[in-house]
Chains A and B, each alone.
Chain A
């Protein structure tokens, strides 16, 4: 890593400030650079890294020669215009791309130093370490309780833990407990969109993964619901590594520590501290994109 500066994250403060929903305040807080209390304890480890990664769908190249090192316990944002490959990159981390028959990967993508595309890696095992939250909320047509317990059950951990306790912890972790504690037996589909998305986050953290991938998690939500998810991401990063794809640059600026900018053609153009990307990017194309000249 070139820079050893990590931007300021005043977790407690920003949570209370976002309640006011003032975009300006939030951006200001997040982009200001300086020493931080919670996330400056030494240089972070790399948890996910790509080395000359290419991804193809059939003959179409969706990602081209991507090399990146994503730090642990940080929020890393992937931004860029539609079709730039940012979601493809996300899906290749937990090998959800395997579900697309025409998808094909070259190069290396490593999780904790191990190439996840090695022969001996089972994608099922990989996904038990890396959770994912999808663009539109996709709770199972089951009760709220069963939704959260699902991961523990399929991973065979349901017998080892106090399930009720685990479900409560996950729902608290997703800031949903107070809203649903009296209706755990009701269908997850009866919740509002924002609640459904937080249910999906609870579902993902219930199994205690190391990384949580989020693919435009707020794009289907209204601004109030979106801001609750953003607050949540801020808390999640204390325990997990969050990698988030977003089409919303303000969101990336508000919530991320590091930002990767993909441009058309599946090329990773720039990856750096978020503050630097938004204040003083090296690449002209990034500057054009950030300032809205194209994309």
Chain B
């Protein structure tokens, strides 16, 4: 037994322990590196999109201008980009107005919201307030399958069923007959009825339509609204429901006057998430709504979304340096900023909801 206090193993640590601590520090740095990758990804998305988008507007990427001394020239003006109403960057007579494809995205997003928000909210209320536990535990995961099906499958569904049977059925079996009925009485109020009946009579659908895009994107975003809203409704304390029921409130009154208001910020967060998903949705919308950039409000017309434009112009390595390649990044940047705004909004709402109910 050593009598010298300094030597031998003690609680103050020895060499092997010191090595273990050194190893711990290295691992900590490695793990931090992993975490940093996620931040680097975001930064890279920003920089790469900005860098390449610059070549669309100024003829050279920012990196080329900075490091290779490329001259700045104006190829596409911001005014034309943001206000022009024709989008054909790769056409023989090019046009660079992004509005038609931004409108395409907005039309699909608004339309899909009109489908998924009311249906998803109603489903959430049913699951949370009306359904038995057994029904709820079965129905909720089944509906979530809707969000798990690859979007390319929705694209196929649009081409093989939604467009030729559902949308075409609405046009030829519902709107056209109503239109001809209206036509025969349109003399009663020509200003009002004539345009309506004309539109109804002319309703027909080709291979693609805005309405088909709305139906498939609306359907696939239902579970985002229903599941997340239902979670928010479940988080409303049962005390509140009991208080209202004890006052003689009906289930309808409890649902609409107690549960909905109490869960409102969580419910709105689910709406934002669904809309954000609709903005970025690509394959289903491409195969459902088509490739024709038009500013139209007619749901039976073919339109083009920003994502559909990206898909239609993707050429891999072969297109580098062409205006179509450059335009990809201008549109991609716009898309990214749009969804980023929605995500930040969603974050805000989620935080608010968490503050309300710890």
| Residue among B242, B253, B356 making CB contact with A138, cutoff 8 Å | B242
Q: How far is the CB of A102 from chain B (nearest CB, A)?
A: 11
CA A142 – CA B260 in complex, angstroms? 13
Per-residue 0/1 for A264-279: is the Cβ within 8 Å of any B Cβ (1 yes, 0 no)?
0000000000000000
A140→B246 contact, CB < 8 A: no
Asked if B177 is at the interface (CB within 8 A of a chain A CB), the reply is no
| Residue among B132, B133, B244 making CB contact with A140, cutoff 8 Å | B244
A128→B248 contact, CB < 8 A: yes
Residue of B nearest to A152 (CB): B247
B243→A140 contact, CB < 8 A: yes
A125→B258 contact, CB < 8 A: no
B250→A134 contact, CB < 8 A: no
A154→B248 contact, CB < 8 A: yes
Per-residue 0/1 for B245-283: is the Cβ within 8 Å of any A Cβ (1 yes, 0 no)?
111111001000110011000000000000000000000
B247→A204 contact, CB < 8 A: yes
Q: How far is the CB of A287 from chain B (nearest CB, A)?
A: 35
Asked if B338 is at the interface (CB within 8 A of a chain A CB), the reply is no
- The stretch that binds B, out of A2-10, A93-101, A247-255, is A93-101
| Residue among B246, B250, B253, B262 making CB contact with A141, cutoff 8 Å | B262
* Chain A stretch 23-65: residues in CB contact (< 8 A) with chain B: none
* Chain A stretch 122-156: residues in CB contact (< 8 A) with chain B: 124-129, 131-132, 134, 136, 138-142, 150-151, 153-155
CA A129 – CA B246 in complex, angstroms? 10
Q: How far is the CB of B82 from chain A (nearest CB, A)?
A: 43
Per-residue 0/1 for B225-253: is the Cβ within 8 Å of any A Cβ (1 yes, 0 no)?
00000000000010111111111111001
Which of B133, B257, B261 is most buried by chain A, counting CB atoms within 10 A of its CB? Answer: B257
Which of A101, A131, A138, A151 is most buried by chain B, counting CB atoms within 10 A of its CB? Answer: A138
| Residue among B133, B246, B249, B250 making CB contact with A101, cutoff 8 Å | B133
Asked if A175 is at the interface (CB within 8 A of a chain B CB), the reply is no
* Chain A stretch 144-196: residues in CB contact (< 8 A) with chain B: 150-151, 153-155
Q: How far is the CB of B357 from chain A (nearest CB, A)?
A: 10
- For the side of the interface on B, what is the size category? 20 to 34
Q: A138-B237, A138-B240, A140-B240 are in contact. Are A150 and B246 (CB under 8 A)?
A: no
CA A155 – CA B247 in complex, angstroms? 8
- A203 / chain B contacts, CB cutoff of 8 Å: 243, 247
Residue of B nearest to A206 (CB): B247
B248→A124 contact, CB < 8 A: yes
Asked if A200 is at the interface (CB within 8 A of a chain B CB), the reply is yes
Main secondary structure of the interface of B (DSSP, over half): helix
- B258 / chain A contacts, CB cutoff of 8 Å: 140
- For the side of the interface on A, what is the size category? 20 to 34
CA A150 – CA B244 in complex, angstroms? 8
Q: A136-B239, A141-B261 are in contact. Are A101 and B132 (CB under 8 A)?
A: yes
Residue of A nearest to B258 (CB): A140
A138→B248 contact, CB < 8 A: no
Residue of A nearest to B133 (CB): A101
CA A151 – CA B257 in complex, angstroms? 11
Asked if A227 is at the interface (CB within 8 A of a chain B CB), the reply is no
Q: A101-B133, A141-B261, A154-B257 are in contact. Are A124 and B243 (CB under 8 A)?
A: no
B246→A127 contact, CB < 8 A: yes
- A99 / chain B contacts, CB cutoff of 8 Å: 241-242, 245
CA A292 – CA B12 in complex, angstroms? 57
CA A142 – CA B246 in complex, angstroms? 17
Q: How far is the CB of B133 from chain A (nearest CB, A)?
A: 7
CA A141 – CA B258 in complex, angstroms? 8
Residue of B nearest to A129 (CB): B248
Asked if A207 is at the interface (CB within 8 A of a chain B CB), the reply is yes
Residue of A nearest to B239 (CB): A138
CA A96 – CA B261 in complex, angstroms? 23
Q: A138-B237, A141-B261, A154-B257 are in contact. Are A94 and B246 (CB under 8 A)?
A: yes
User: What are 16 A-B residue pairs whose CB atoms fall within 8 Å in the complex?
Assistant: A96-B242, A99-B241, A124-B248, A125-B248, A127-B247, A127-B249, A134-B239, A134-B242, A134-B246, A138-B242, A150-B247, A150-B257, A154-B248, A155-B247, A203-B247, A213-B246
A interface residues, Cβ below 8 angstroms from B: 94, 96, 99, 101, 124-129, 131-132, 134, 136, 138-142, 150-151, 153-155, 200, 203-204, 207, 213
